[in-house]
Amino acid sequence: MFKLNREQRVCRIGPWAVGGQPGENPPLVVSSMFHNGDRILESRKERKFDRVKARDYILRQEELSAQTGVGALVALVANSLDEMKTYIDFFLGVSEQPFGIDVWVEKTRLEAAAYAAGLGVHDRLLYNSITPWDKDIAGQVARLKELGVRHVVVQAFNQEDQTAAGRVSGLRKMLEIIGEDDFASILVDAATMNLPSTAFSCLACRLMKEEFGWPAGVASSNGTYMWKEAREMWGAEGFNAMNAAGQAVAAFLWTDLLFTGPIINLPKILPAVATASMLLTTLAGGETGVLPAGPGHPVRRFFPDFAARLEEPPAAATN
């Protein structure tokens, strides 16, 4: 269950190793800022936002990431190039970490990537994303290569077959156009439609990792945040419990990448993801006889003596 037959690719994005065998590396968490409904936004049109709070959120995420060993990257959400320029400039003034851009329109997304490349930070950029709905996938890929973009997210979806197997066939078609040698990192997003369907997306991650070896993950926040009735039934406290549980379960099931939603909630998510990662690597070690956790893994950070015991060879039997 926790050992994949195909050799797995491990991508390096800034300080984080992403991918590998289950339990080898915790999933890369991608939070969002400046999304619709983000309370720090004061005027999207005028590109005004609460810069003090935005800075605090970014630095708190970095602090928790360093503490837990779970990589955490913020995706900047914008509708226009001018808006995205403002957010990129702000982020670069706060952090030296990698960052993502999240733009729905293909033309604007490419323009934002070009702006980042012009600033010389194309190697820190996670391009989100190349989708089946883009009109010119081949042209988009050619432009990204020209810009020197190294890390991309690819959406895996098949409108005609929305099962786990359909996502695999959807990715197969995408990679026929994109190729597998043009980027340092191809992170696959197995599209999530609602909370229970996250299970199918996680299963798709396993199938895609088995076939292609690239890191794969889910937008687990799509499942949790779209269940609006949960907040109505249980209030903020109950919603936060459901949200952390849903995203931790996704972290446990063959995922290398989690889109976890608003950065303001990262303090409630990163400990849950770190917990799931520790349980997964322990089970994987029990199954394979080798603790797969990398050097910065949460289990080595928080339970080093336990991890060392798991790596000890079994005692020889005595008569």
Report the residue count for the chain.
Answer: 319
- The CATH number corresponding to 10-310 among 3.90.79.10, 3.10.129.10, 2.40.50.140, 3.20.20.20 equals 3.20.20.20
Supply the pLDDT for residue 314. Answer: 65
pTM: 0.95
Q: Report the alpha-carbon distance of residue 184 to residue 150 in Å, rounded.
A: 5
pLDDT of residue 255: 97
Radius of gyration of the chain (CA): 19
The pLDDT value recorded for residue 317 is 45
Within 10 A of 96 (CB to CB), how many other CB atoms are there? 10
pLDDT at 2: 83
Every domain of the chain and the residues it spans: 10-310
Tell me: the pLDDT tens digits for 189-243?
998 889 999 999 999 999 999 999 999 999 999 999 999 999 999 999 999 999 9
Round to whole Å and give the CA distance between 310 and 286. Answer: 8
DSSP for 107-119, written as a single string: HHHHHHHHHHHHT
Query: b/e string for 35-63 if b means 16 or more Cβ within 10 A?
Result: beebebbeebeebebeeeebeebbebbbe
Tell the residue number behind the tokens 């991918």, with chain if given: 19
Q: What is the pLDDT of residues 244-279, one digit of tens each?
A: 999 999 999 999 999 999 999 999 999 999 999 999
Contact 65, 72 (CB under 8 A): yes
Q: What's the rounded Cα separation, in Å, for the pair 186 and 127? A: 10
pLDDT in tens, the chain (319 residues): 889 999 999 999 999 999 999 999 999 999 999 999 999 999 998 999 999 999 999 999 999 999 999 999 999 999 999 999 999 999 999 999 999 999 999 999 999 999 999 999 999 999 999 999 999 999 999 999 999 999 999 999 888 888 899 999 999 999 999 999 889 999 999 988 899 999 999 999 999 999 999 999 999 999 999 999 999 999 999 999 999 999 999 999 999 999 999 999 999 999 999 999 999 999 999 998 899 888 899 999 999 999 999 888 766 544 4
Q: What's residue 256's pLDDT?
A: 98
